[in-house]
Amino acid sequence: MNNIRSDVRYHPSHRWESVSPVFRGYYILRSVLIWLLSIIHFFPLCTLLVVMGGFIDPRRNDKPQRWLFRNILRVAGVDFEVRYAPGFDRQRTSLFVCNHIDIWDAFIIYSAIPQFVRGLEHESHFKIPAYGWMMKRFGNVPVPPEGNLTKYKQMMKLAKESLDSGVSLIVFAEGSRTLDGRVGEFNPGVFRMAIQFGYPIVPMSIVGAYEFSRKRDWKLFPSKIVVYLHQQVMTEGLTKKDVEWLKNEVQKTVAWPVDDYYEG
């Protein structure tokens, strides 16, 4: 494991059922306002970044993009913190494996990882207006549905090219968003990829985001979000036989701050 301090705690008062009718009205109005402000903030600035990407190397636009995403979290009223394991290497190209909460995860991730990073995303996300356009232009890698061998090979090719060029990749190994805040079972694909390509994995835990925004609920609540960037797990020397072990180790590391948050 590692020794990143975890002192953020869940409180039952965070539950919608425990909120009084007066505060429910307040949170609904607050959510509407935040969504409006965030959308107004997001679309013009993202369009500008995409246009800039046509003339300037996206790596040189990384700071403006990071500022944009972090500023959207500020607009949304998020108290945000990143905690790094002592052995975390900020410069090493890696595969970041993270728990998946909500559509706001992209803003949290880009605000937290201190290097140039792109994501592996389901190809359906690239059809989302504005967001999908931006993700494609910025170099994110589409993940096809299972069974399409041609698209799978293309995904592996794009992922390898990104890593070899010094671009780290972020992966949601669960494959879907959580419905209870907890970390779900990881899929083995990214761990096969890491072993095949020989790149390390960085377990990454997002804590508190489920209390801010969640799947199937449009309301947004005041929350403190803490991101834990754990020490890299090396894959050199591992083989296909080690995929299950690697998956379990990374899953345990990602899950422990989340479990500690709810059970502590």
For residue 170, what are the CA distances in angstroms to 102, 113, 118, 164, 246? 15, 10, 6, 15, 17
Looking at residue 146, which CATH number applies to its domain?
A: 3.40.1130.10
pTM above 0.95, yes or no: no
CA–chain centroid gap for 23, Å, is 30
| Backbone torsions φ then ψ of 225, nearest 5 degrees | -110, 125
Residue 206 belongs to some domain of the structure:
yes
Helix or strand holding residue 83 (H, E): strand 78-84
- CA–CA separation, 117 and 136 (whole Å): 14
- pLDDT band at 5, cuts 50/70/90? low
Residues 252 and 233: beta-carbon distance below 8 Å = no
Domain membership flag for residue 64: no
Measured over all CA atoms, what is the biggest interatomic distance in the chain, rounded to whole angstroms? 59
Flag whether 165 is in a domain: yes
Residue 244 falls within a domain, yes or no? yes
Q: Is the pLDDT of residue 16 over 60?
A: no
Mean of the pLDDT values across residues 180-202? 95
Domain that holds residue 140: 78-263
pLDDT at residue 38, rounded to an integer: 82
Euclidean distance between CA atoms 243 and 249, whole angstroms: 10
Q: How far is CA 71 from CA 145, 198, 222, in A?
A: 33, 35, 15
Q: In this structure, is residue 34 part of a structural domain?
A: no
Tell how many helices (H) and how many strands (E) occur in the chain. 7, 7
Count of CB atoms situated within 10 Å of the CB of 155: 19
Residue 95 predicted with pLDDT over 80: yes
133/85: higher pLDDT: 85
Report the chain's mean pLDDT, rounded to a whole number.
Answer: 86
Total domains present in the chain: 1
- Element at 69 (helix H, strand E): helix 62-75
Which pLDDT value is given to residue 124?
A: 80
Rounded to whole angstroms, how far apart are CA atoms 53 and 154? 23
Q: Which helix (H) or strand (E) holds 71?
A: helix 62-75
What whole-number percentage of the chain has pLDDT above 70? 88
Count Cβ atoms below 10 Å from residue 247 Cβ, excluding itself.
22
Q: Which residues contact 145 (CB under 8 A, 6 or more apart)?
A: 123
Q: Is 35 a domain residue?
A: no
